[in-house]
Amino acid sequence: MKPTFNIIISFFIVLPLLLLSYQLGTPEAMTAANIGEYFSKPALRLSLASASKDTEKKKLPLRKFEIPDFQSAAVSALAWDFKEDFYFFTKETSAARPIASLTKLITAAIVLDYVQPQENIVVSLEAIKKDGNSGNLREGEILTVKDLLAAALLESSNDAAYALAEHVGAKLSANPESNATPVRAFVRAMNQKFNDLGLVHTNFTDPAGLEDIKSFSTADDLAKFIKYLRTNPNYFLVWDLLRQKNYQAESQNQVAAHDFKSTNPFLDEYTNVIGGKTGYTARALGNMALLIYGPNNTEIIYLILGAEDRENETRRLIEWVNRAWEWPIEK
């Protein structure tokens, strides 16, 4: 019994004390005060040399308060560094607003969710009957998905947006449970997309942004969608197109040749533009979504909704952010 008893004593008392003394350094260090201090601290510590730099929090820009606060004439506006989730400016970002042709950003995403850029589309008479003649599309001409995306995103062609919606919607409405026309099926997919992303303060009724009575979004929802659009590899083509000043296309059946020109004025004004989209209806007024590179590898989303002069409001906000905020120097 005695050897067994000694083994038990060693296992439950001596061995833990030895382990504890090893972590503290020496047995002499095991005073009551030191033990209390020991157990109040983490058992494991990482040296500064071994700590991952990825865990270090990036230094955020500092407000220069000698620069007055920005006063926006738009109904809604924001400037957001989505990588750091840092807002430089916000105004009425939860207000529901018609977003006009900014809708085509969502249309482009739905298109790329279901079809390939090289697919061919026959432009229908119904598509070219839509308001506006941007893109100058012709009935019966055959263009690729990429060509029509360029027309919709650069020239903001309503005809191109509807041609895309008809093509993709036909695939969606082929589902026996769809019970919708191709365009309605496409719009349903647009709303489902936002719902899946948790952007529930938005509703779409058409793929071009023309129907602005029951179609609306918020600056918050739209900014979060733009972040999603930017960070998802499936949509790289959108940004490749949005940075182009013009895009040339010729119909596959030689019906017409096109030179789609961007409506984004900031491509000529700033060298750090990633891409942007304009929008306007009489009800929505002027809208602008712009993504630009900022200091220290940031990407800043600028959104202007409901402005009499969207270009000037966007420019004023960009210049204010540059003056009113100071970024730390990266080492």
Task: Write out the catalytic residue numbers.
Answer: 101, 104, 156
Write the CB contacts of 93 (distance below 8 Å, at least 6 apart in sequence): 76, 77, 78, 218, 219, 220, 223
Contact 158, 132 (CB under 8 A): yes
Strand partners, 281: 285
Helix (H, G, I), strand (E, B) or coil at 112: helix
Q: Which of 305, 92, 98 has the alpha carbon at shortest distance from 203?
A: 98
Please report which residue ranges of 25-72 form alpha helices under DSSP H: 32-39
Q: How many CA atoms lie within 13 A of 270 on its CB side?
A: 20
Write the CB contacts of 126 (distance below 8 Å, at least 6 apart in sequence): 162, 166
Q: Which of 91, 86, 94, 92 has the alpha carbon at shortest distance from 63?
A: 86
Write the CB contacts of 138 (distance below 8 Å, at least 6 apart in sequence): 123, 128, 251, 255, 256
What type of residue is 94? S
What type of residue is 255? V
As a whole number of angstroms, the distance between CA 187 and CA 262 comes to: 25
Helix (H, G, I), strand (E, B) or coil at 21: helix
Contact 283, 213 (CB under 8 A): yes
Strand partners, 278: 288
